[in-house]
Structure 1
Amino acid sequence: MKRSVSDVLCSKMASSFYGVLFAVSLCAPIYCVAPANAPSRYTQPSSTKSIPASQVYSLNTDFAFHLYHRLILETPSQNVFFSPMSVSTSLAMLSLGAHSVTKTQILQGLGFNLTHTPESAIHQGFQRLVHSLTVPSKNLTLKMGSALFVKKELQLQANFLHNVKRLYEAEVFSTDFSNPSIAQARINSHVEKKTQGKVVDIIQGLDLLTAMVLVNHIFFKAKWEKPFYPEYTRKSFPFLVGNQATVHVPMMHQKEQFAFGVDAELNCFVLQMDYRGDAVAFFVLPGKGKMRQLEQTLSARTLRKWSRSLQKRWIEVFIPKFSISASYSLEAILPKMGIQNAFDKNADFSGITKRDSLQVSKATHKAVLDVSEEGTEATAATATKFIVRSKDGPSYFTVSFNRTFLMMITNKAIDSIFFLGKVENPTKP
């Protein structure tokens, strides 16, 4: 029996302050030496303890949806795509050098209750997170890294330098900021290389007050466990943008067994598509006019409910082939999430350097996402072919992602969101 979706769901800073430019970049093409004796306040975590790590993963998911809600307010009716993991890791690393209210605001903004969770446990959790993303895999490429570009005259606190290297595996580069354009080119070249050419020109408009640039980058590419067969991609398929406008997009198509569910309470379809390896994509399609209702309920609890309740069944699925990107000025958004002092003259980053006053002048996040039929290479051969089921074969749902939908990329092993987005218009890069 064939059922359709409609069948089921009808500044200029004060001269006494130097700027810290905090930039996070990521790329997700889905064609689908620390001083030996430096002091440290954070002890090496025991391999048998996983509570700090699991708490970081869960709070990272709630932070993801909290930040998502801010982004959709700032950019209504636009595509949204970002890496909450990249942003939260950068903020946690920045907190290593923060003191007093500045530190408290950053960690509480990430969702931590400092009464119940010691700061050392937070950084141990992030340490495990960062380490888990550096384990090589033949099935997918997932690389996250951090880099500090530091004004060569700036003397960093040994404790801060040691901890960002040991806990966050960050690279540190002495940089001449007296020529902002050369410094900018060096940083952008580093990010472009780390993201295999996908994220370019993330840093713009450096000035002579810049003292440090913190960059976090994520590069992800993976192949679908059950790829789409390119010959069955429809070249022009209507996609509803907003309430009335229609654009035409290439629409991928296949019939297969996927984990799938109908959330009657939230009035949405949830489709899980696995990548080779531990990565998983969730596509969430709300009923018409129900996106805002769905967005208001997004939480770590909601995602856990979906993960546990989806069941494998035959699905005929239509998903757009698309490429989108997004850039955000987080210095305008994070203060609205309680992280205020870091961006004004009240900033206390004396844990980074005592000689100079620092504040974050700009926080930039840039994201790129490509979704296509097979995997990392669009022309790659695949052993899995599209098979047209006979009419007397198994019954199946038909799910067409032909209007605004959500997409999340998570990891089975660490249960945390790598990427989160909303596709409003797949024709807008």
Structure 2
Amino acid sequence: MLSLGARSATKAQVLQGVGFNLTRAPESAIHRGFQHLVRSFGVSSKDLDLKMGSILFIKKELQLQTSFLDKVKRLYDTEVSTDFSNAPAAQKRINSYVEKETKGKVVNLIQGLEPLTAMVLVNHNFFKAKWEKPFNPAYTSKSFPFLGKRSVRVPMMHQVEQFAFGLDPELNCSVLQMDFSGDAVAFFVLPGQGRMKEPEQALSAGTLRKWSCSLRTRWVEVFIPKISISASYDLETVLPKMGIRDAFDKKADFSGITERDFLQVSKATHRAVLDVSEEGTQAAAATAAKFIVRSKDGPSYPTICFNRSFLLLIINKATETMLFLGKVGNPTMF
């Protein structure tokens, strides 16, 4: 969305920095693709709630180009608010909006809004779903060791079920696929001890396709910690490392947003919150029957225990789009 109002090198850096080759993908095609994704995500059912949206907060005095406003509304269904009279009031209003849209999960996103701030562009997404095969809370261990630089005790969920599961010998990791009810799936990736770099660096659409094709559905004993984590990133330190530099200094060219005023990006913040529990999101009934107790003479199942750092990916199946990507080093870091 920022690229819609950027010009010259600023525009090129934004689009190339997030991975687009402008000789292969025209800018208009990039925006049409995102328009399609945003509209595809606007689905809700009793099992899956997936929402994405944007809002533009601007000062009344800022005279925006009508073409920019038209494009952000038409392509991204962006709301526009001009109630930006003073910085503290604007900060409160923006944070209230984000908290409401994320059902209370993301709070106080904007902190210390500067008096010179003329425009704030907020993007939010919200994902909430039930497991297709939920865990039974009765089988959750209240205190299980999770190993790391500083070992912690975590609630550990447990079940024996049929899941798509396999080993990737090339990347030295185990991969478990768990489906949500609805059109989403989670991949849990457990690297060999001390081998996180290999799967982390190999993550790509091709790697995901390889896992999807090679995993085999089988009975497997699964231990997954209940997760409640939150992470914040100051993107003004991250994006320049990706090549998006001019947007943050005096070289910035956002004349596609306004010609009368000079704009540059002063702050870019990203916050993600993830909760993983037995039922996924809501209470699930009759899960006890899905737990199989093993005896000494019973069949043996492969066991996967996520009791050390692992990767977690949540994918929207209909669009093959990654909704969430995280590395869990401490499941209790909220």
Deviations, residues 236-270 of structure 1 (Å, cap 9, x unaligned): 1111013xx42111100000000111001111000
- Which of 169, 177, 180 is matched with 1:272 structurally? 177
Shift of 1:393: 5.3
- One-letter identity of the residue aligned with 1:202: L
Which residue does 1:334 correspond to in 2?
239
Counterpart of 1:387 in structure 2: which amino acid?
Answer: F
- Unaligned 5+ runs, structure 1: 1-92
Look up the equivalent residue of 2:309 and give its one-letter code.
Answer: T
Aligned to 1:325: 230
Task: Quote the residue 2:291 is aligned against.
Answer: 387
- 1-side partners of 2:45 and 2:253: how far apart? 40
Aligned pair count reads: 332
Give the structure 2 partner of residue 212 of structure 1: 119
| Cα distance in 1 between the residues matched to 2:215 and 2:320 | 16
Comparing both chains, which one has the higher relative contact order based on Cα–Cα distances under 8 Å and sequence gaps of 6 or more? 1
Counterparts of residues 391-402 of structure 1 (less than 5 Å) = 391=295, 394-402=299-307
Contact 1:314 1:394 in 2 (8 A): no
Cα distance in structure 1, aligned partners of 2:234 and 2:29? 29
Which of 95, 103, 107 is the matching residue for 1:188? Answer: 95
| Aligned residue type for 2:119 | M
CA contact 1:411–1:418 (8 Å) conserved in 2: yes
**Cα distance per residue 1:343-393 (max 9 Å; x no partner):** 11111111111110111100001111111101323xx24233332245465
| Residue pair 1:314, 1:395 contacting (<8 A) in 2 also | no
1:229 aligns with 2:136: yes
Match of 2:187 among 274, 282, 285: 282
Distance in 1 between residues matched to 2:309 and 2:128, nearest whole Å: 24
Supply the distance in 1 between the matched residues of 2:227 and 2:32 (Cα, whole angstroms): 37
- Aligned residue number for residue 133 of structure 1: 41
Which residue identity is paired with 2:214? S
Task: Tell me by how many angstroms 1:136 deviates.
Answer: 3.0
Percent identity, aligned pairs only? Answer: 70
Which amino acid in structure 2 is aligned with residue 218 of structure 1?
Answer: N
For 1:399 and 1:277, the matched residues in 2 are separated by 25
Pairing 1:154–2:59 present: no
Which residue is equivalent to 1:367?
272
Give the SS at the match of 1:196: coil
User: Relative to 1, partners in 2 of residues 1:300 and 1:381: Cα closer, same or farther, differing over 3 Å?
Assistant: closer
One-letter code aligned to 2:198: Q
1:175-207, CA deviations, whole angstroms, 9 ceiling, x for partnerless residues?
A: 324x21111001101101101111111001111
**Structure 1 counterpart SS, 2:5:** coil
Q: What corresponds to 2:5 in structure 1?
A: 97
3-state SS in 2 of match to 1:359: coil
Aligned to 1:37: none
Q: Secondary structure, in 3 states, of the residue corresponding to 2:194? A: coil
Write the letter of the residue equivalent to 2:327.
K
Alpha-carbon offset, residue 162 of structure 1: 0.7
Contact 1:249 1:427 in 2 (8 A): yes
| Separation in structure 1 between the aligned mates of residue 197 and residue 163 of structure 2, nearest angstrom | 26
**Structural mapping, 1:1-80, within 5 Å:** none
Q: Secondary structure of the equivalent of 1:241?
A: coil
Offset of residue 220 of structure 1: 0.9
- Which of 15, 25, 41 does residue 117 from structure 1 map onto? 25
Q: Is the 8 A contact 2:236 2:266 kept in 1?
A: yes
Q: Is the 8 A contact 1:318 1:399 kept in 2?
A: yes
Q: Which AA in structure 2 matches 1:339?
A: I
2:276 alignment partner AA: V
Classify the secondary structure of the residue corresponding to 1:413. coil
Instruction: Tell me, in whole angstroms, the C-alpha distance in 2 between the residues paired with 1:381 and 1:104.
Output: 48
Higher mean displacement: 215-224 or 381-390: 381-390
Alignment of 1:75-90 (within 5 A): none
**Contact in 1 for aligned 2:43/2:49 (Cα 8 Å):** no
Which residue in the other structure is 2:16 paired with? Answer: 108
- Under a length normalisation based on structure 2, what TM-score does the superposition of the two structures give? 0.96
Residues 42-69 of structure 1: CA distance to partner in whole angstroms, max 9, x if unpaired? xxxxxxxxxxxxxxxxxxxxxxxxxxxx
CA distance in 1, matches of 2:265, 2:144: 45
Q: Does structure 1 conserve the Cα–Cα contact (< 8 Å) formed by 2:63 and 2:258?
A: yes
Choose 252-261 or 390-399, whichever is displaced more. 390-399
1:173 to 66, 81, 90: 81
* TM-score with structure 1 setting the length: 0.75
Distance 1:336 1:115 in 2: 22
SS of corresponding position for 2:147: strand
